[in-house]
Every structure is written in C-alpha cells, then in structure tokens.
Structure 1
Amino acid sequence: MTFTADADGRCQVFTWDATTGTAEQVTDRPGGTLHCAIDHEARVWWFDEDAEGRGHWRFRPFEGGEDRPGLEGVPDGTPRGLGLASCGTVAVATAADDGTTVHVGRRGGRARTVTRFEGHAVLTGISPDGRHLAVGGPAGSDRAVTVLSPDGTVQAALRGGGHGGELWALGFRPADGTDTTRADDRSVRDGDDGTELLLVRQHRDRYVLAVWRPGSGVRTWEWCAFDTEITASWYPDGGSVLVRQERHGRSLLHRADPRRRSVTAVPTPPGTLLAAAVRPGGDVHCLWTSASRPPRMLSSAGTRLPPLGTVEGSVPGDHREVWTPGPDGPVHSLLALPDDVLPAPAVFLVHGGPADHDRDAYDGVVHSLVASGFAVVRVNYRGSTGYGPRWRRAYPAGVGLTQVQDLASVRADLVHRGLVRAEATALWGSSWGGYLALLAAGVDPALWRAVVAVKPVADCAAAHRTATPALRALDERLFGGTPETMPEAYARSSPVSYVSRVRAPLLVVAAERDDKCPPGQVRDYLRALASAGVRHTAMWLDTGHDGYDGRDHVAVLRRAIGFLDRELRRARHPGSRAPAGGAGHT
C-alpha cells in the first residue's frame, strides 16, 4: 500500500509491505506531499507541487528506483484527479486559467489532450480497459457527470437536478468484476461492453446508489438508499460495493450486494472512519479514530498494517454530545470538557465547508485546548453534512447568518446547563469556519469574548472576484447569483459589513498564497478593523490555503492558545483554577 504520514513535521508519502512489515519513505519535499496513489503494477504515484499548489504527477516502482513524470507534456496545474487503468493507460486532470484540462496516455509516455472544461471539474475515474473516462462537474448542473472516450467523444452527459437531484460519480467497476445486471434483464444493448460506473444521486431527500452502463444509461438502486451522505467503492471482485455513511458525526460501513439487492452492516468501532477500502479476499482496511482516541489503522482480517506516529493513549477530558432544540430540528454538538471546575471557559471550534461536519474524531486542536483548561464545543450547524439533505439546504436567515444563529443557540443552551461560562466564550474557525467566526463577532458582539479566524473569508464579494472557480460556483449557488446580481445578499452576509459592531479582540491568521480565501480581502478587513478601533493581531503565513508542513500548524496553535488564554483568563470565574502550564501550554 501507499499512504501519507508525518515525517519530521511534514506530510510525506510512504510505502508499506505487509509481507515484511516494513515502511519506506518515498518523498522528502520541503513543502510536504499529500496526494498519492498506487497502480495495478505497484508503481507509486504522487503529486509534485510548488508553493502555489501547482505541479504534476510522478511515479516510481514500489521497491524503489528513479522517479519519472507520469505523463510527458502535461503543463503544471493544480490536481483535479488521477485515473490509473489496469491496462496501463493513465489519465490526469489539472486546473489552470479557470478551467480543467484532461490528458491521457501510456504511463511515462507522451500525453494527448482529451478535453477542457471551463470552470471546476474533477476526473473521477477511468475504466479498466481505458476506453471510458468519467469527469464530475457541479452536482446539480447539466454536466454533473460526463463520460468521455480518450479521443474526447462525449459518450454520455448525465444531468443533476438542483436541490434534490444532485449526482456524483464514484468510480468504474474493476476488470475482473462480475456482471451486476439484474437476473431478469441480461440483454446486452448495442454498445454495452459490460462497463459500469458507480454513481450516487440525491433523490427524495435520500442518497441512492446507481450505475451507468454504455448503451443502457443510468439504473438506480432504489433498494440501496440512505438518509445521510455516503461515498462508496467497488469490492475488488466487482460483485459488491462498500458504502461509507456519515451520520450524526460518526461513520457507518455497509456492504451493498446488487445481485441480492441487500445491504448489510460491516462491523466497525463507534467513531469516525477517515478512509476505508476492501482488499482482494474481502479484507476491509480502515483508518479509524474517535474524539478520545488518535487515529489507527484496522484490518478486518488481522493483516499487519503500519503503526501511525500519533500521540499515545487517550485524549484528556470528558467527551460527550449535546442536542440543542432549533427551528429546523435539533442542532448536534460534540463537547469536550476539561478535568476542571465547571462551568468552564469555552472555545467554539467552528468547522469549515460549509459542506462538511465535525466528527467524533481526534483533533489535535481539541486535545491542546482541553489540556490547557478550556471546554471545546464543535457545532454541526445547519448546512453541515451528516444530517440529511434538508439540513444541508436549511438557510432561512441567509448565508452565514443561519449558522451564526445556531452557534448562539448552542452557546445559550450550554450556559443554561452550567457547562460553560457566559462571560468566557470564544470562537475559533478556519476557512469557512473562520468566516463564521468573523461574522458572529459582528452580528452578536455581546456573546463572544475573543475570536480566532484562520485563513477566513472576510468580504464575500471581494473573495468571489479572486477565488477559485469551484468556490465562485459555490458562492453563486448559496447566494443565488454573483455579487453583481445579488449585491445586497453578499453584503448582508459579509463580516466586513459588521466591523463597526465588533467588540471582542481578534487574532486573524492569513496566507500570502491563498487562492480560496484570498489575502487581499483579508488585508481590507484588517484595515477596516483598525479604522474602527477594534483591538486585533494579524499573523501571516507564506503558504497557500492548505499546508502540509506541521511547523506552520504548530505556530498557529501556540499563538492562538496563548491569545485565548490571555483574553479568557481575564474573565475567569473566581472558583476555577488556571490551566496547568499557563498560556500556550499544549
């Protein structure tokens, strides 16, 4: 197998040989390496990128040796997918100049261009024989999934349907797979070569698996439906599908058998599965964690897997969950309480996305905060995944403002329960979470004692003008148009519109090379804070939006915990004691 792990504070690519029980580090890039894969002939692949996130795919033999470009002649860009066919054909997609280009060729050979998509697109798979490529576009658009021939011929354009009809591609059935066509419908239509592309469709407020076949079109597995978000992959024999469901902050595994039309549970410990896959013979490998246990690899067959260099033992504190009544249903929060006097000073750790959720999973920031004497609250506000399509679509107060309402209601609930202190609550968020932290600081200034915003959106309209095509498309879906067509909506949801109301001190962390939350709009927000006389500190990183070097994360962690300790210590309850080690203790 190949995997990524920590190497002296940076994320790098490793190989693991289960027969010898040995791991070998493959990459040693100064900026770290995240994207990797392994092909059918055990070549190890990784994406070699620069500080801007642009680069190209490279590969080398599993046992070592010289590395080579995956395809010759592919211009550098940001990664948008890699397809490795069992026949040796390779497809790569890279993004540049507001578009995504797909190339194909033999491994290590000369590339030829297949097609270019304007805006955001992702290569989601290549068929085992190399004759079909699947490219995903906006899930609710007319090009939700496009199936192409290597010469660029469009074989099928599968449409999404807006709210309630989104469609995503998951991957082609393996070459040695069995035919999953229904026993009472085995006729092979013209052009049907046995290829099957696995899909998931949002349908009637549920997520349903489906398959596309050339000449046959899409067939929905109505017997295989789930009430919350799923992803799935084929078993190696192609006869079944492993489904990973995210539900209420935890993961569930299922085996879907299309021949029997059955769904059975695959046993896993309670918690979160960060990854799961089936090996030949049915051995299920998982990367498992929980809020109180750092990640570890599990094998259903007892196969020896690499140990991970994580912290030992369990995480300090009392880990529990809370449900707070809300207008669109109860709001679910994960709570970690310190071994201290209650009520405790609390940090609301706000997740990004918005199409994401906080999990029953280990988080180094939670560990550090709890060990420093803070309660940590992680709220799966409306718009989060893991609670069904209706929860994802619930924005009655507007973009950002709905989520700010949920943060405020959970805070009030926890104060009422005597778990957190009203005069000592803070916000800490990154990316979209950083955006919500800044917005809440202006919308509800009386509620929050301090705010940490890491790589945030501070001005929705300004960010739209310079962000990536994918994020511009997300903005237009959330707001119903562009800043030019919906100026009032963008202004109403922008933190910069509420600067004059901010009272809490702020720590704002931004990145010079950030293409998702651009630095220019952060600088404008900082200038607005200064003009309004709001106390704040700025910290700049020479990175992009995503960083693979742990030193940057540690630097932000130390700065933020020190900042929160100073601000919340001033409001400490007379009966509570200061966290051991003082400011910055992690």
Structure 2
Amino acid sequence: MSRYQVFLGVLPDVCAHDATRMVFTADAGGRCEVFAWDAAARRARQVTDRPGGTLHCAVDAESYVWWFEEDSDGRGHWWYQHFEGGPRLPGLPGAPAGLPRGLAVTPHGTVAAAVADAHGTAVLLGRRGRAPREVLRTPGPRRLGGLAPTGDLLAVAAAPDDPAAVTLLGADGDVRARLPGPDGPSGRLWCASFAPRSGAPELLLVRDLGDRYAPATWTADRGLRTHAWCSFDTEITARWYPDGRGLLIRQERHGRSLLHRVDLAARTRTLLPTRPGTLLDAAPRPDGALHQLWTDTGHSPAPLTSGAVPLPPPGQTTTVPGRHTELWTPTPDGPVHTFLSLPEGDDNLPDREGGLPQGDDNLPDREGGLPQRDGPAPPPAIFLVHGGPADQDRDAYDGVVHSLVASGYAVVRVNYRGSTGYGPRWRDAFTAGVGHTQVQDLTIVRAELVRRGLVDADAIGLWGMSWGAYLVLLALGTRPGLWRAGVAVKPVADWAAAHRTTTPALRALDVRLFGGTPEEVPERYAASSPIGYAAHVRAPLLVVGARRDVKCPPEQIRSYLAALTEAGAPHEEMWLDTGHDGYDGADHVAVLRRALRFMSAHLPGPRRRTAATTRPPAPLGGSRPR
C-alpha cells in the first residue's frame, strides 16, 4: 500500500506577504494531508494527521495555515496554526458545523466563510480566532465567491443560471447588488474573485454568451460589464494577476489546456506558451513567476515554474506504459472526441492523430485519421466513462488508465455530448434524452473502434464512477449485447429515488437536466433510470456503493441490486464505509484491485504486461457534481 500515492490537482496556496511560504495537500501514507512548504529552506512540515485525511487548506497574509477538519460525513470547522507550528486553534469559534463552501482572509485578518448544513447555507464574517457574525442565511446552496481586500464586501455565488447568480453583501449583511444569471437563452454567470488591490473593490466573473465565454467585471460605480471582445469558444477559468489589473485565463479546449494573458484596459489578449497536455492549475505570482501544475496521459502531474522561488517537489513521478492517441467520430450533433490508450505492443498507431486545433479553427476531419489495424489480434478494451456530466476526459494522468493499460487493456475515454471543453452547444446537446444521448455516443465510438480493428469486439467492458457509473448501468441495460462486463462505482441507479435524498445542489441540477421535478415530469426520470432496464442486463456487473454517500445515495443502489437479483442478472457488490468523495487512498486502491480482478475474470484474457516501475497514484475525488 505504501507505494500508492494520493494527489490533488491544485497548486500550493502562497502567502501574500512572503512568497517563500506555501501550503499544499500531498500524500501522507495513502491519505491526503496538509503540508507547509518553506521554499527558502526547501523544507516541508506536515500540519495535519487525521485518519480520514484533510483536503481544504489555505495560508493567510500573516502566515497562518488554515484547514478544514471534518467528520466522516464531511461536516466540521475551520482551524488554524502559525506557519512555523505552535498551538492549533479554532478559526471561527462558535461557528455552526457544516460542509465547507469557501474561505477568504484579507491581508488585515478579516475572515469570511460559508458552511452548508441541514438548514441551508450560512455566510460568516469575523476575525481569526474570534466568534463570527452570521451575515447571511439562505435555504439554497451557495458558496463564498470572494471577500474584498477591504473586508467590507462579500460575493456569494449561487448556481450560474440562478436569477441572482451572484449577490454582493456589505459587512452588515445588507445586499449591495444582485448580478443576474440567464438573460434569455444565455447568460450564466460564474464568480471568480475580487481584485487583490486596495481601493474600490472590483469583482471578476465569467459570463456565458450563449455560444462563447467571456470575462466580466463588476464595480459599484460601473456595475456589471461583460468584455465580449475577449471571448472564447470553450470553457474558461479566470484569475487576477497580483497587480490586480491583468487576467490569467485558462481555457479548457478539446481535452487540453491553453493559457492567455488579458489586459482589460488595453483590450489585448496574448496566448502564452504551454506544454501540450493539461494544466490542472496555473497561477501568476508577485515575483513575476507563473506556477503551473502540468500533466498528460503518459505522465503524472509535475509542478512547473518560471520564477526563482521553488515549488514543493512532486512525489513519485510516473510514466504510463503503452501508446496514447485520439480520434474523432461523427455523431448527430458533430464529432465526438476520444482519447485512446493502447497497451505496449500495439505499434500500428501514430503517437497522435494530429490536426487538433489550438485556436478558433474548425474541428479536425470527422473521420479522424487513425489507420485500420493489420497484424496481431486487437486487445480487449475498457471504456472508462467520465462523470459530471459537465466534465471532460483530458490529456491528463489517470491512475486507473495506468493500471488498465499496464494490465494489457486498451482504455477508451469518450467526451460524449454533455461534456465540457467543446463549447456550449456540445455541452447542452441531450437530443436523445438524459443518459441516452451519452450512451449513444459510447455506442458510436465502440462501433468505430471495432470497424477499424483497434479493439476486440468480443471483449469490451465499461467502467465509471458517479455519473459515469450511471452511464455504465444505463448502457448495460439498454445495449446489453455490446458489453461483456461493467464496473459502476457510486452510481445513480434510480433518478427519482436519488432526487428525494440527495443534496439541494444536485436536486437543482436534476431539475435543470430533466426540466422539472420527479413529480412534474415522472416519465422523464423513469425513462433515464437504469433500474427500469435492470431486467435486460446480461453482462456481469460489479456495483460499488458508499454507505454515507449523499450525492448518489445508497438506498437507490440497493433497490437496483434487488432488481438485478430478481431478474437473475449476474452481479457482485462492494460497499465502502465512506461518503461520495474521500481522501484516503486505501479506499481507491481497494476498489481498483477488486475491479481489476473482476474485469480479468470476465473479459477474455488481456495480454499481461510489465507494469511501470512505480505504482500508480490514486487520484482523489470523483466527478463533479456527480
């Protein structure tokens, strides 16, 4: 077990007044814990040591390390300790226990936090180590979008398509402004952060223009302004440069990352040089450095910097065996993009298909460009189905891909309709219905790979987590003749039952996806629920559930398993004593080992390969929001 690592795809948080002091999360014996990194001394100190691990952390301008300490259900409180060590103290004593929904600390020590509990979301304001005031209590899901450097203005974010997507509150709780989400067919609004400079607060946001995305800003005197001249055709995230004037924009486009520097005053946009692959995070620093956390399918994440202050060194670096390529396959709404990893010995393929656009060009040729296979028999294949649905598979390291390829399987990762990274039209294309559209895309890509002789038609399985696990169940029930085995980790199996007991944020997502509640449109929920197709499942299926899962609740999984039993469908089950997300690598590794044994038993003999010299890390978290 000690050879497995956990990791999170975020850069260290840097102290605003001393760039050599950073806080980050890293592996600690198979758990994720908080570390303080002294870049001047090149020394790391472990701050937390908890049985379930620790995920959320920050460092404020006065070099105090913050972390969120939670129970097995994810509820807890913020704590802090000085960077050099000393007593651990409650950050906001007397605050209600809840789920963390954001933390911000000004250079002068004013603290804002949002926590979610059974009664909704509370937004708190106070001073480090003192009892806070509740400035907002709302029954709906909210998160803290930012705290102005002056400490007297807070941004609270709702869903991006909410009529009040962002609310600006004064320190007294009075509403200063409400920024609307949709304005007609478009207009979703995401909150980023306040400019890190003194003077009148300026809030950075991202606006959905319907067919593109653009940065937006809000100030009290000028209101909300959308900078449509600086628009992008796929999803972006934005953050301020330390001077509070320029923007660093990270664009996720076709499974890879691009970086742009934007000067709003001069109306200029510059494409920055980046290594091909995925930037899990990128941040400009006061010394002029640009910190990046880079990866691609063949290499585990590595920190990159152009500055003099070193980032913490990575853990064990890993290279994934095999060959990694991609293809584009026609669908009714345009070409679907697939990342394909093949085990060692499949030498008929180029390293890359080529032609992947990097700017605003059209998509590559719809037929792809991968050759037909000649020679040895193709390998068995596993479709590794991503969650979301508003997420994407990237040209990025994945420990499950590593394990499967090293075991002799081809791995197929499809960015089906509904995925991000391909523009708003692709993200919103559910033309065959919720779930059925995505299964249609998996089926289309399967046919393409079989036609080209790249995978064994009689040895194709499915593996997914969360929304991806839901698609596994739906595909096995609606296309039973195409798949030889399936692994579904923490799935949605019955939409109506899950809706009744899941989180408020996910209930809101359900309403957006289906166009109403289960009481309003019961036929839509039923048509997309795997439990209605359980009697048609023929392939052996491993279902993994979590007893404390509030996103994909366990009772609806048990009902699905009962339906499989009644139908005589071959299946196994595995239960974890966790929630939906976890910080302990042992659970990830236990599921990985069980699933690999299951696939080996039910997919005809994968060609065994020698695994890489290091064991694959177990990435934390899952899909978002399911």
Same topology, TM > 0.5: yes
Would you say the 8 A contact 2:33–2:54 is kept in 1? yes
Counting only pairs closer than 5 Å after superposition, residues 180-259 of structure 1 correspond to structure 2 as 194-259=200-265
Distance 1:386 1:66 in 2: 45
State the Cα distance separating 1:579 from its structure 2 match.
4.9
Would you say the 8 A contact 1:141–1:160 is kept in 2? yes
Structure 2 residue corresponding to 1:283, chosen from 258, 279, 289 = 289
Q: Deviations over 1:54-86 (max 9, x none)?
A: 001111111111111111111110011111112
Q: Which amino acid aligns with 1:287?
A: L
Pair 1:306-2:312 in alignment: yes
Unmatched segments (≥5 aa) in structure 1 = 177-192
Structure 1 residue corresponding to 2:548, chosen from 484, 499, 513 = 513
Corresponding residue number in structure 2 for 1:360? 395
CA RMSD of aligned residues (A): 1.4
Would you say the 8 A contact 2:54–2:67 is kept in 1? yes
Would you say the 8 A contact 1:337–1:374 is kept in 2? yes
Would you say the 8 A contact 1:430–1:453 is kept in 2? yes
* CA 1:163–1:67: 2 relative to 1, 3 Å: farther
* Secondary structure in structure 1 of the residue aligned to 2:173: coil
Q: TM-score, normalised by structure 2?
A: 0.88
Distance 1:155 1:446 in 2: 58
Q: Which moved more, 1:89-98 or 1:518-527?
A: 89-98
Pair 1:86-2:92 in alignment: no
Pair 1:138-2:159 in alignment: yes
State the Cα distance separating 1:267 from its structure 2 match.
1.6
Q: Which amino acid aligns with 2:268?
A: S
Distance 1:4 1:103 in 2: 25
Q: Which has the higher contact order (CA 8 A, sep 6+)?
A: 2
Q: Deviations over 1:481-505 (max 9, x none)?
A: 0000010000000000101111011
Distance 2:233 2:377 in 1: 37
State the Cα distance separating 1:48 from its structure 2 match.
0.4
Q: Deviations over 1:185-212 (max 9, x none)?
A: xxxxxxxx62100010001311010100
Counting only pairs closer than 5 Å after superposition, residues 123-162 of structure 1 correspond to structure 2 as 123-161=144-182
State the Cα distance separating 1:98 from its structure 2 match.
4.8
Corresponding residue number in structure 2 for 1:567? 602
Q: Which amino acid aligns with 2:191?
A: A
Structure 2 residue corresponding to 1:121, chosen from 142, 148, 151 = 142
Structure 2 residue corresponding to 1:437, chosen from 456, 461, 472 = 472
Distance 1:310 1:438 in 2: 35
Pair 1:40-2:61 in alignment: yes
Q: Which amino acid aligns with 1:556?
A: V
Q: Which amino acid aligns with 1:297?
A: P
- In the TM superposition, structure 1's runs of 4+ consecutive aligned residues that sit over 6 Å from their partners are none
Corresponding residue number in structure 2 for 1:189? none
Counting only pairs closer than 5 Å after superposition, residues 383-422 of structure 1 correspond to structure 2 as 383-422=418-457
Corresponding residue number in structure 1 for 2:36? 15
Structure 2 residue corresponding to 1:53, chosen from 74, 84, 102 = 74
Unmatched segments (≥5 aa) in structure 2 = 1-21, 346-375, 617-626
Q: Which amino acid aligns with 2:272?
A: V
* CA 1:71–1:249: 2 relative to 1, 3 Å: same
Distance 1:563 1:580 in 2: 20
Q: Which amino acid aligns with 1:31?
A: G
Corresponding residue number in structure 1 for 2:415? 380
State the Cα distance separating 1:259 from its structure 2 match.
1.9
Q: Deviations over 1:511-562 (max 9, x none)?
A: 0000000001001100110000001100000000001000000000000011
Pair 1:469-2:526 in alignment: no
Corresponding residue number in structure 2 for 1:170? 192
Corresponding residue number in structure 2 for 1:532? 567
Would you say the 8 A contact 2:407–2:607 is kept in 1? no
Q: Which amino acid aligns with 2:439?
A: V
Would you say the 8 A contact 2:409–2:607 is kept in 1? no
Distance 1:14 1:148 in 2: 33
Distance 1:444 1:269 in 2: 39
Q: Deviations over 1:230-271 (max 9, x none)?
A: 111111111201111100000111111112111112222111
State the Cα distance separating 1:24 from its structure 2 match.
1.1
Corresponding residue number in structure 2 for 1:296? 302
Distance 1:336 1:578 in 2: 15
Would you say the 8 A contact 2:388–2:467 is kept in 1? yes
Corresponding residue number in structure 2 for 1:336? 341
Structure 2 residue corresponding to 1:554, chosen from 589, 602, 621 = 589
Distance 1:439 1:164 in 2: 30
State the Cα distance separating 1:87 from its structure 2 match.
2.0
Would you say the 8 A contact 2:281–2:293 is kept in 1? yes
